[in-house]
Chains A and B, each alone.
Chain A
Amino acid sequence: MNITKKHLSVFHVTTRVLIALIGGYFVAMHGAILIGNHLLSDKTNSIITGLMSSFIIYLITVLFVFATKTTLRAFAVVLVSCILLYFLNYYLQGPQ
């Protein structure tokens, strides 16, 4: 079976949808955790702010995933963002 243009197109669309939906959630989640843990000295205010910002982060990530030129770029940026945010949070929390 040949891999047709249609197959490729379906693959790219499906992948972008998954990256946007699942990857976007993780970026939003880690962004919110980072804000919640480290934005202000006041923990409760930070957590509420983080939670409320999560949806904006999710929105921007989804728009980016579909606007960017290649699927590979979408995947790479989302993955790197997740990793960055996660380790930034871990680093800022200090030794525990």
Chain B
Amino acid sequence: MRPRFRQSMSWLHTWSGFVFAWLLFFIFITGTAGYFENEIDRWMKPEIAIVNEPIDDLAILDIAQQQLTDNAEDATQWYISYPSARNPYIDISWLQPANKETGARRQWYEKNLAPDTSELITTRETSGGEALYRLHYSLHYVPIVVGYLVTSLATMLMLIGLVTGVIIHKKIFIEFFTFRANKGLRSWLDIHNIFSVLPLPFHLMITYSGLILLMGISFAPVVDATYGEGKKMHRQLYNETQAENLTKEVIALPAENLSLESALIDAKSRFKDQAVSYLGLIDRNTEQPGFEVWFGAQEGIELATLFTYRAVGGQVQIEQATGKKYSAAEVYDVLEHLHEGLFADTYLRWLYFLSGLLGAGMIATGMIIWVQKRKKQQSRFINVIDKLNAAVVVGLPIGIAAYFWANRLLPVEMASRAHWEMNSLFIVFALCSCFCVTRAAEKAWQNMLWLAAVAYALIPLVNMLTTKHSILSSLQNNDWLMLGVDLSMLVFAGGFAVTAIVLQRRSVIGSANAHIKQTVKGI
């Protein structure tokens, strides 16, 4: 039973990994980029004003509320974003209801405010870091539900690959510390093991939580059979599951005096040392608008603590959520928060990022091993897979570099600018694939790595030439986000260059060895 079990699990590991390997690599890379979506957003909107000196909370409320009154009179919700470490700017956003006359859909608008002039800043039209991260579950150029279902299926196969990988792994703790260099396939396997076992808790968490985040869609028939069919019933169940335990406290503030200012002042008096992250005005078009004050949470894996002030029956009461009503929903929340990592501070965030890259590396080395094991067969199909591996593993990062290049190079007034930035990613990705197919497999890898190194190394230069942000000026202005992205681009470029050099040296040694062998045989 045992050898056959191991064999069948080994087969399953190989093929469940193979089927969606490229898509899963795409999902891991774009999702991992998402851990720095705020920073990428800042880089892609160089016009945004950075707030470095602390500004009085009420002063921010003043200028933000003025702009909201001028621009968002009919909005059902208003939000003001206060400067924080990852978002050092003042933002206003509002939810504009659907307009039956113009046919405009209900949608959110977001604008950045310059603290010195109190004016709205027009930024270039871009989908930013957020769009990059959304690729990892909605894909692109396909209807959103198709994206959800395909990524869910791929993730299910990922889970199967992970679990079968653990099953077939013989000496999981010893091999954790083993790396035998220069031994061809054995070395690739060792690297694959390290990339898989070292961050194994992360891989299992991210895969399972990814599955449950889309469970309402992938297992929609379950909702149909247990709750009800149709969009309305599904939405009703969703709203039901999100129900929270609310504590309500009546306070001394007179109902007529309830406003954002009074709510802010009261909330700050209760939470003296906490920084305000958002103010919100919800249900603006109803009898009982809610005045929200958000504080960055100080512990656990929640992102923020929220107080909602409402005038109810002549009195003002504060609502605070103390957890979800349903315990299963709490479990779901924990997994959701772990997946998104919104709570993570700088160091933990880099750990998330690194773990994601290791996951992508796990998939990439898996694809490489699949080809290496079959190289002796000398089939054209294996050869094409080898070349396309290079196209995906290195071509996708090059595509992402193209996304950043397009952000700087496309004219600011261009129509559908955001769409064309994303198109650039995929156009360059496709071009890389075409290029790789025409080259010999080994050359394909080397060329792509050098191309990636150059593409990333030049990004800070393009930044400097097209905007007023250079590495030096970012240092001087304490623009850490801009600086961080620029420097990271250089680090990635270095990584690609080093890999290209290592590969080149290896191929020189390899061909020299082959030459010697042939000469010896001839004698």
Is A55 in contact with B216, judged by CB distance below 8 angstroms? no
Main SS at interface, chain B: helix
Is A50 in contact with B226, judged by CB distance below 8 angstroms? yes
Q: How many Å from the CB of B226 to the closest CB on chain A?
A: 4
Is A52 in contact with B212, judged by CB distance below 8 angstroms? yes
Is B219 in contact with A32, judged by CB distance below 8 angstroms? yes
Is B219 in contact with A63, judged by CB distance below 8 angstroms? no
> Is B222's beta carbon under 8 Å from chain A?
yes
Cα distance A52–B208 in the bound complex, in angstroms: 9
Cα distance A59–B329 in the bound complex, in angstroms: 22
Measured between beta carbons, the chain B residues less than 8 angstroms from A28 are 219
> Is A78's beta carbon under 8 Å from chain B?
no
Measured between beta carbons, the chain B residues less than 8 angstroms from A55 are 156, 159, 208, 211-212, 215
Measured between beta carbons, the chain B residues less than 8 angstroms from A59 are 156, 159-160, 163
**Of B4, B156, B164, B225, which is within 8 A of A33 by CB?**
B225
> Is A79's beta carbon under 8 Å from chain B?
no
Is B326 in contact with A33, judged by CB distance below 8 angstroms? no
Q: In residues 1-58 of chain A, which contact B (Cβ within 8 Å)?
A: 28-29, 32-33, 36-37, 42-52, 54-55, 58
Instruction: Give the size category of A's interface with B.
Output: 20 to 34
Is B160 in contact with A67, judged by CB distance below 8 angstroms? no
Tell which of B164, B216, B326 has the most Cβ of chain A within 10 Å: B326
> Is B123's beta carbon under 8 Å from chain A?
no
Is B331 in contact with A51, judged by CB distance below 8 angstroms? no
Is A54 in contact with B226, judged by CB distance below 8 angstroms? no
Is B156 in contact with A58, judged by CB distance below 8 angstroms? yes
Q: B residues bordering A, Cβ < 8 Å?
A: 4-5, 8-9, 11-12, 156, 159-160, 163-164, 208, 211-212, 215-216, 219, 221-223, 225-227, 237, 240-241, 326-329, 331-332
14 more A-B residue pairs beyond the given contacts A55-B208, A67-B8, with a C-beta to C-beta distance below 8 A: A28-B219, A32-B219, A33-B225, A36-B222, A43-B226, A45-B329, A47-B222, A47-B237, A47-B241, A49-B328, A51-B222, A54-B222, A55-B212, A63-B160
